[in-house]
Structure 1
C-alpha cells in the first residue's frame, strides 16, 4: 500500500507590519534588510513609497514583484503607506499578491493599524490562513510594559537605572496619560509618547551618567515633565484666543537654549502627542454628553468637570479641525527640518485669527 506524501505548508513570503510603534517597526525592517543582504544581496532590496505615486502605483508594484525567469534574483520589496491610498489601488494590489513569485519577499509597512474591511487586508488574511502571509502588529508599550522597555533599553546600552528612576522617567514621559481609543479593531490603548523620544531621553541620561547608576535625581534634573497642567492651560489659552499666553507656555515647554536640535524635535513630538490626547478627549466628552453616556468614558468626576470647562470654548467642528492641524504638524516634524517653534506658532495663529 503506497503512502500518501504529506503536503508541506508553504512559508510566508508576504508580510504586513502595522501599528503606531514605528520605532520598533523601523528596527525590524532594518534587521530584515541586513539579514537579506548577508544571505542574498543588497541589490535585491527595493523600497516603494506609495505616497510618492500620483498614478501607476499598481503597475510599479506589479513590475517589482514580477519574476524574471530562470536567473531571477531573490528580492525583498518593501512597500510603504499602501493602505493610505485609494480603494481601487488597494484592490489592484490585492489581485497581484497570488502572483508573487517564490523568490520574492514582500513587506507592506504601515505606521497605523489598518482597517479590516479593505480588500487588500482581507486578501492578506486569506493568504495568512494558507501560511503564505504573516502580520506583525507593533504597539507602543504602556503601563508596566513601558517600565520594562525603559529598563531593558537602558541595560542594552550599558546603563543601569534605579527602580525609582525608571518610574520617574515613565511618569514624566506620559505613561499615566494613556487613553482608550475606539478603532476598527475595537478599543485600543493610545499613548501620548513615542519610542523615538523615549530612547532619546534614555541615551541622554546614559551619556550624563557615564557608567554610573542613573538615579531619580538625574531624571528629575535632565528630563522635563509632560506638564499635563501646562497642556490644560495651553488648551484653555487657545480656547480664549490668548495668543500671548499660549505662545509663552509653549516656549516654556520647548526651551531651545538647553536642548540639541534632536532633543527639541523629540520634545515637540511629546507635546504634540499630549495636545492631541487633550483635544481627542474633548471630542470624546462631546460625544458622550450628546449620547448621555459619561460613565462610559471611565473618567473621574474631577476630570469630567475640568474638561467640561474646556469644552465650552470649542465647537465640535473646531475640535475636529484642530485634530487635523495637529496631524499636519506631526507629519512635518517627522519629514521636514522646519523648527518646531515655527510650526506651533503657525498653528496658534491659524486658530485664533
Structure 2
C-alpha cells in the first residue's frame, strides 16, 4: 500500500481544480463506501481537533480515506479586507496553530490522503511557507506533498480544451464556432461547460456551427442586448423599437419577455455606470473584468465602448426610466409590452441629457 499524500490545489481555474479533486474522490470507491470515507471541512470551521478526528481514523470498508479542506489558506492572507475574518486558530496564535497543523500532517496514517483546495495563494502566506518544510514520517525519506497551480486557460489552450470537451460529449464543433463561443463566454469554464452541454444535446451527432451558438447560448442573447443598448445610446429610436419588435415576436418571445429585457437593459446600464466609476477612480484596466463580474472579453469591450458613448448624467437618467418602468409593471395596471416600448422610446432620448 502506498503512503499518504497531501495535495494543495490552488489557482483561478477552479473548474479544472475541482475536476482533479473529483478524480481523487472517485478513486475512494463506490458511493456506498465513499460517503463514509470522504470528509469535507470548510476553512472557516477548521480546527486541529476536527481535522485530526477526520484524518486519523482508518477507512471504512475501503483502502483509503480522503479529507478535503476548502479555503483555509485565505485566513492567513495579509489583506485588510480579510482582517475581520474569524481565525481558525481560535485562542492559539498563528505560529502555534501552524506548528500543530504541521505536526498532525506528519503523523497522518498511510490510509488517509488530504486535499487543500484554495483560490490564489500569495508567496508570503505562512501556510505556504509551512509546506516548504519536509513533511516526512519518522523513518521515511519520501516527500508526500503535491502542490499544483491551476491557471486560467487562454488562447489556443482554451480553444483546444473547448474542442476536447465537445468531443468527449460525442459531438463535434467547427473552428469558427470555437472562436465564437470563446468570444461570448470567455475564460469561465463553468459557464463554458454549461453552454457546451446544451449545444451537444441540441446538435447530437452533428457538428456545432456558429449559427447554433447564436441560437442557443446565453452569450448570444447578451449580444442582442448590447445591440439594443447601442441603438438606445445612439438615440436611434426607430431602430431600437424595430429591434425590440423582432426580439419579442415569434419564437423569440419566450426568451425575450418584457420583464427579462428590462432587467437585462438595467444590468447593462449598471455595468456602464461601473465603468465610469472605475475610470474616475483610476482603477487599472487589468482589474476591470473582475469588477464587472465577467470573464468575457466581448462583454468587457462592448461595455467600455458604450461607456464612452454616454455621459454619467445620461446613465442616471436611464436608471430613472428603468425604475419607473419596473414600478409600472409591478403595479399590474399596465401592459408589460406597452411599458417596454414606452421605455425604449423615452430611453432613446437619453443621449440628449
SS of structure 2 residue aligned to 1:77: strand
Contact 1:65–1:100 at 8 Å: present in 2 too?
yes
Per the TM alignment, residue 305 of structure 1 is displaced from its structure 2 partner at its CA by 9.2
Distance 1:128 1:147, change over 3 A: farther
Contact 1:12–1:134 at 8 Å: present in 2 too?
no
Per the TM alignment, residue 127 of structure 1 is displaced from its structure 2 partner at its CA by 3.7
Contact 1:33–1:45 at 8 Å: present in 2 too?
yes
Residue 317 of structure 2 corresponds to which residue in structure 1? none
SS of structure 2 residue aligned to 1:16: strand
Distance 1:280 1:163, change over 3 A: farther
Q: 1:52-91 counterparts in 2 under 5 A? A: 53=45, 57-66=47-56, 74-85=64-75, 89=89, 91=95
Deviations 1:194-241 (A, max 9, x none): 21210111111112212111112211222233549949x79xx9xxxx
Q: Does 1:124 align with 2:114?
A: no
Q: Does 1:49 align with 2:56?
A: no
The 10-residue stretch of structure 1 (212-221 or 121-130) with the greater mean CA deviation from structure 2: 121-130
Return the alpha-carbon distance in structure 2 between the equivalents of residues 228 and 281 of structure 1. 25
How many residue pairs align between the two structures?
Answer: 242
Structure 1: which 4+ aligned runs deviate by more than 6 Å?
A: 302-313
Q: Does 1:97 align with 2:108?
A: no
Q: Does 1:136 align with 2:126?
A: no
Distance 1:196 1:76, change over 3 A: same
1:114 to 93, 116, 121: 121
Q: 1:163-202 counterparts in 2 under 5 A? A: 163-174=175-186, 191=187, 194-202=188-196
Contact 1:173–1:198 at 8 Å: present in 2 too?
yes
Deviations 1:239-281 (A, max 9, x none): xxxxxxxxx9xxx9xx99439xxxx9xxx9xx89x959x7599
TM-score (norm 1): 0.54
Per the TM alignment, residue 308 of structure 1 is displaced from its structure 2 partner at its CA by 7.7
Return the alpha-carbon distance in structure 1 between the equivalents of residues 41 and 50 of structure 2. 9
Distance 1:72 1:148, change over 3 A: closer
Return the alpha-carbon distance in structure 2 between the equivalents of residues 17 and 132 of structure 1. 14
Return the alpha-carbon distance in structure 1 between the equivalents of residues 174 and 224 of structure 2. 24
1:161 to 158, 165, 173: 173
Residue 27 of structure 2 corresponds to which residue in structure 1? 35
Residue 8 of structure 2 corresponds to which residue in structure 1? 16
Residue 342 of structure 2 corresponds to which residue in structure 1? none
Contact 2:106–2:135 at 8 Å: present in 1 too?
no
Listed as ranges, the gaps of 5+ residues in structure 1 are: 1-9, 175-190, 238-247, 290-301, 314-353
Per the TM alignment, residue 173 of structure 1 is displaced from its structure 2 partner at its CA by 1.5
Per the TM alignment, residue 75 of structure 1 is displaced from its structure 2 partner at its CA by 2.2
The 10-residue stretch of structure 1 (207-216 or 121-130) with the greater mean CA deviation from structure 2: 121-130
CA RMSD of aligned residues (A): 4.7
Residue 205 of structure 1 corresponds to which residue in structure 2? 199
Deviations 1:61-114 (A, max 9, x none): 133223579x9974211111212335663752543322323332111112x112
Distance 1:304 1:169, change over 3 A: closer
Distance 1:34 1:275, change over 3 A: farther
